[in-house]
Structure 1
Amino acid sequence: MSIENTQIYIELYSYKQAWVDLPSEDRQRFVSVVENAIAEIEKAGVKVIGFGLNDTNTDRRAAYDFFCVYEMPSAEFARLFEQQVEASGWYNYFEQINVSGTVKSPSEILAENSHLSQ
């Protein structure tokens, strides 16, 4: 994957009450489907950097309990990924926000900050 097209994609999410209320066997079944989907996107060139719990001691902590970080081959792939997440029913069970963008060097981004780029 070349750096000029590399996209970092971050999901921040927390449970909705619908997830808590779902019977355990249904939650396990849903998780199995998600695990299979992750295996498929890895075959398509996505690097799963990691999943984790949002540390409660984090300074200026985002109000979400979990995170997922991916390296994606392109912005177009990221948009397809978003469509797949939506189609899976994920948002019925999880409150989520996403952050994504093209990887750039620190000096490039800091220069853009100095020029108030968006």
Structure 2
Amino acid sequence: MAHYLAELYSPKPAWLALDQNGRRQFFEAIGSGMGALSALGVEAIALGETDAATLHAPSQKFFAIWRAPDAAAIAALVSGIAASGWHDYFDTINAAGPGVDLNGHLPQLAAL
């Protein structure tokens, strides 16, 4: 069963203070780590800027949605993100778990 990670994140002052060369170096380091995650089956489904005009929009400025074949691959992704220094630059909220369809999710809600 596929597992997913949904991230919401906003830049910290450390990111805003980082010059363009520092940002480029940071992105290069992140890119170099993606090969190992891809080998585990991790894929970025969508990344972007949140739409502040959406009803109940989050306060975070950006989102990323990832898919992986299992919980171990998602754990590797979350660990890799942390090891990259991402959290030094971005306040992040992570939501992860196995994905189900609507007919599988409604019983989860009903069971509460």
Fold match (TM-score > 0.5): yes
Q: Distance in 2 between matches of 1:37 and 1:59?
A: 35
Asked if residue 60 in structure 1 is aligned to residue 60 in structure 2, the reply is no
What is the one-letter code of the residue matched to 1:14? S
What is the one-letter code of the residue matched to 2:102? P
Aligned CA RMSD, in angstroms, stands at 1.3
* Contact 1:42 1:48 (C-alpha < 8 Å) held by counterparts: no
Asked if residue 104 in structure 1 is aligned to residue 100 in structure 2, the reply is yes
Q: Distance in 2 between matches of 1:80 and 1:41?
A: 7
Q: Counterpart in 1 of 2:27?
A: 31
How many residue pairs are counted as aligned between the two chains? 112
Unpaired runs of 5+ residues, structure 1, are none
Shifted more, 32-41 versus 69-78: the winner is: 32-41
Q: Distance in 1 between matches of 2:32 and 2:65?
A: 17
Asked if residue 18 in structure 1 is aligned to residue 14 in structure 2, the reply is yes
Tell me by how many angstroms 1:80 deviates: 1.6
Name the TM-score, length of structure 2 as normaliser: 0.91
Tell me by how many angstroms 1:39 deviates: 4.1
Among candidates 57, 76, 82, match of residue 80 of structure 1:
76
Identity of paired residues, percent? Answer: 28
What is the one-letter code of the residue matched to 2:3? Q
Tell me by how many angstroms 1:51 deviates: 0.7
Name the TM-score, length of structure 1 as normaliser: 0.87
Tell me by how many angstroms 1:104 deviates: 1.1
Asked if residue 94 in structure 1 is aligned to residue 112 in structure 2, the reply is no
Q: Spell out structure 1 runs of 4+ moving beyond 2 A.
A: 35-40
Unpaired runs of 5+ residues, structure 2, are none
Tell me by how many angstroms 1:43 deviates: 3.2
